[in-house]
A and B are shown apart, each in its own frame.
Chain A
Amino acid sequence: MNAQVAVSPTSLIDQIVVPGDVVLDLSNMTNQTIKLGSGLRQESDAISAMRAGKFSYSKPNKYWVESSHKRYIPRTEDHVLGIVVDYKADNFWVDIKGPQLALLPGLAFEGATRRSIPKFEACTLLYLRVVKTNIGMNPELSGTDASGKASVFGPLKDGFMFETSTGLSRMLLSSPTCPVLEALGKKLSFEIATGLNGRVWVNAAAPRSVIIVANAIMNSETLSATQQRIMVEKLLAKISD
């Protein structure tokens, strides 16, 4: 049996890591403040990965493991699409594809008072903002932005909602505009709401536009930018015949 001596890599930034890989050595970084994002765990002087994915770094001091899954880990200030499950004692219980049901206070809407809480039935789709996340507690949501105005939040009527992975939602929300949305936007007109929790809602005047947009987005997960544009063009060409 040959014993292989592994050489310690000097840096794992932008590398794929698996759980257990030690990615940062804190004893070399004594005077810095660093922010640890998702997927990292501290064990005394070593930071190790808890999830498998790409270890990323953004200046000045943020580190995280980027990975795409079917479930969502709630983070504050994320915009998510939630589905109402229940209404008890002035609070809505909303499913956001996370480990716990989320709490949406009935008063967290613009112009809501004790007497005029909006009445959402079970299975209503809402576009919401995550306000509070603490370990062990249900995350809290709100239907207003930080200044109390409704802006883009609230119920989404008509249209079609489908589920995607969190990685695809992040790609759809990236700036500059994601290639698949740009290519679709040139020929079709539609409304889209993307939740970072892996839910996307599309609405358009004609049902066929909705279906084309939904299928194009679902197919674009593993494609590169040019492949996405080619795929959208082929799809649109087939339909316009």
Chain B
Amino acid sequence: MEIDREDGRRPNQLRPLACSRNILHRPHGSASWSQGDTKVLAAVYGPKPGTRKNENPEKACFEVIWKPKSGQIGKAEKEYEMILKKTIQSICVLTVNPNTTTSVIIQVVHDDGSLLPCAINAACAALVDAGIPMKHLAVAICCCLADSGYVVLDPNKLEEKKMTAFAYLVFPNTTLSVLPEVEGEPVEHGIITSVTHGVMSVDDYFLCVENGRAATASLSAFFRKNFQQTQGAV
């Protein structure tokens, strides 16, 4: 029994992706990422000398500022900032530029569902544009659970409201490697961040994770192709 989605997509199909880098003049790195109608702009400044108080001076420090499309900054925005900061700290190499601060500013242009994953993807693209050293990229996806137990990827706002539960999942990207096939778990099978809303059973959660992970291959391929096109032009 297939679920009928309003815009005719299959359950595992993502919305059209678009990414442009180096779009803003002043920041040292910038990117805009859109998934369907959800669009987020990210800007990176840094690394700048000095760390914030209470931060370890032997590591690079990151600060995230989240600017909503309208309205005052409230608790939801602070939560997004914290999640983004922790995700960025785990993908960046912190020992290369100790005692520096890098600021990441996220500006929501339009929210049509799956906002936090879109922001994480935009922030990652902006960090790449700024040349911040990273261990690998992060690809983020939203998986939600419908009443009937079906997992649907990349919902828009209406679908998100109708679902019983959804999870924002962030995985490392699929990488090219000159190493021969390795035994055991490759790096892509790790998970960086998981934020869940609503009630779901453990089995349903693992089903979401599996479906989300399968989609990372297409997101990584999109990012790589996008980067190669802009580099090829130079």
Contacts and interface: CB of A to CB of B under 8 A. Distances in A.
Interface in A1-24: 1, 4, 6, 8-12, 15-24
Contact of A99 (B97, B180, B228): B97
Interface residues of B, number: 45
A69 B130 contact: yes
A159 B50 CA distance: 33
B178 A24 contact: yes
Contacts of A100: 49, 99-100
Interface in B72-111: 93, 95-100
Given A100-B100, A135-B96, A20 B49 contact: no
A42 to B, nearest CB: 11
Given A8-B177, A9-B176, A71-B131, A18 B100 contact: no
Given A69-B28, A99-B46, A99-B47, A18 B173 contact: yes
Contacts, number: 118
A24 B176 CA distance: 11
A30 B100 CA distance: 36
Interface string A160-172: 0000000100000
A235 interface: no
B224 interface: yes
A224 to B, nearest CB: 10
Given A71-B47, A71-B131, A18 B214 contact: no
Contacts of A46: 177, 179
B172 interface: yes
Contacts of B95: 135
Contact of A50 (B96, B214, B223, B224): B96
A52 B227 CA distance: 8
Interface stretch (B112-120, B134-142, B197-205): B134-142
Given A50-B93, A99-B46, A18 B137 contact: yes
Interface in A45-92: 46, 48, 50-54, 67-71, 73
Which residue, of A39, A67, A71, has the highest number of chain B Cβ atoms within 10 A? A71
Contacts of B233: 222
A11 to B, nearest CB: 6
Interface residues of A, number: 42
A67 B97 CA distance: 18
B47 A20 contact: no
A25 interface: yes
Given A10-B178, A20-B172, A22-B175, A1 B29 contact: no
A41 B223 CA distance: 21
Contacts of A117: none
Nearest to B174: A6
Contacts of B175: 18, 20-22, 48
Contacts of A20: 134-137, 172-173, 175, 187
A207 interface: no
Given A8-B181, A71-B28, A21 B176 contact: yes
A101 interface: yes
A176 interface: no
B99 A17 contact: no
B231 A16 contact: yes
Which residue, of B174, B178, B181, B234, has the highest number of chain A Cβ atoms within 10 A? B178
A222 B229 CA distance: 13
A41 B181 CA distance: 21
Interface in B164-189: 172-181, 187
Nearest to A51: B131
Interface string B8-31: 000010000000000000001100
Interface of A: 1, 4, 6, 8-12, 15-25, 39, 41, 46, 48, 50-54, 67-71, 73, 99-101, 135-136, 167, 221-222
Complex A-B, nearest 6 residue pairs according to Cβ-Cβ distance, in ascending order? A20-B136, A69-B131, A50-B133, A22-B177, A99-B47, A19-B134
